[in-house]
Amino acid sequence: MENLIEIKNDYNSLDKLHQFLEKTSGHACSKEYDIWEQRTDSNGQMEQCIVLKKSGMHAIKAFFVNQNTIKINHIIPNKVMNAYFGKSVKARRNIIEIITSKIKEAVLQSSQEKAFKELEKEIYKAAI
């Protein structure tokens, strides 16, 4: 689950958007390093993103793809839970890992989608 959202010029930086979401959102909001994708900037430093968290299993991360457009993705903010239930980035997986990932996706899909839509509405408050 992901989406691209065009943001108002008033909130065109992570700091400004973070401050806005802290004031207007009823959910926990933080600015963290992007450990889920390990994106790096031009200097080789790990980039930051905004994490809007509903619970230990449901959150979205937002980062800028250009000056006024952010990309939001569903993530599992708890690092331990992410290790068990997050997307596997291994190049090769065995049959048991493939089967359990399909079961996991089927069980968690509806609750993740519901949480994504709820948190996405918070981001739309800053949209054009």
CA distance 54 to 126: 18
Could you tell me the two tokens for 78?
């708890």
**Per-domain residue ranges for the chain?**
2-124
Q: For each of the chain's 128 residues, which pLDDT tens digit applies?
A: 788 989 888 888 899 999 998 998 888 999 988 888 888 888 888 899 999 988 877 888 999 998 889 999 888 776 656 655 666 555 566 777 777 777 777 766 777 788 878 888 888 888 87
| Strands across the sheet containing 2-6 | 2-6, 69-75, 59-64, 48-53, 28-33
Which residues does 9 contact at the CB level (< 8 Å), separation at least 6?
68
CA distance 8 to 128: 5
